[in-house]
Chain A
Amino acid sequence: GAGVSQTPSNKVTEKGKYVELRCDPISGHTALYWYRQSLGQGPEFLIYFQGTGAADDSGLPNDRFFAVRPEGSVSTLKIQRTERGDSAVYLCASSLLAGPENEQFFGPGTRLTVL
């Protein structure tokens, strides 16, 4: 299909609530990445998947953040007990294979606002 898609495009929630952000990668792409982009900054790595497994979750800021990719395609980023500091644009990217020489294609992002 088209490119990487993410839903919702915007999410406003209240402090303390739980949110789920969804990413649909390009069909056939085995690697999927989550980044967080705050205003005026570059994307900050959170986690990446190779297939169904999280190959590197070293960027997740704390245990309130969790991500899954149960069937090796769609991924969901889950944030518990949201805090105002979680407000950012959450970007998803996918690539055919993992590895630095495989172009990452980004989705449009989900703008999360925690009130």
Chain B
Amino acid sequence: GENVEQHPSTLSVQEGDSAVIKCTYSDSASNYFPWYKQELGKRPQLIIDIRSNVGEKKDQRIAVTLNKTAKHFSLHITETQPEDSAVYFCAASSNTNAGKSTFGDGTTLTVKP
């Protein structure tokens, strides 16, 4: 089955700096890669996703890149703000596992004011 690894497990940045979180996956059939933000005690919420037919997607301060050959994808947050502090999860799924998402173990991002 699919295996998703996520790094780093914790990340601390100064407000205004950029943050990068990286994930690798093992199943070459995976074709959909969402990123979730989970604040303490809250539910995971989708913040951005990318499909395997594109290499990069951007939405304001967040962007995701995908390298299918290397089987890795990354989340980039620019101009970080204290409210970006949360746990971020990457995930992977494929048409062959129609609903089944495999998640990474999360990155705890702390943005210091």
Nearest-CB distance from B100 to chain A (Å)?
5
Residue among A33, A45, A59, A98 with the most chain B CB within 10 A?
A45
Is the CB of A87 closer than 8 A to any CB of chain B? no
A-B contact count (CB 8 A): 72
Within 8 A of B (CB), among A67-99: 91, 95, 98-99
The answer to whether B89 and A100 have CB atoms under 8 Å apart is: no
Nearest-CB distance from B37 to chain A (Å)?
11
Mark contacts of B75-113 with chain A using CB atoms, 8 A cut-off: 1 yes-contact digit, 0 otherwise. Answer: 000000000000001010111011111111110000000
Nearest-CB distance from B64 to chain A (Å)?
15
Q: Interface residue count for A (Cβ, 8 Å)?
A: 28
CB < 8 Å neighbour of A91 from B4, B43, B46: B43
Nearest-CB distance from B91 to chain A (Å)?
7
The answer to whether B105 and A41 have CB atoms under 8 Å apart is: yes
The answer to whether A44 and B103 have CB atoms under 8 Å apart is: yes
The answer to whether A99 and B105 have CB atoms under 8 Å apart is: no
A/B interface sample: 6 pairs, CB < 8 A: A42-B6, A42-B104, A50-B98, A50-B99, A100-B94, A101-B32
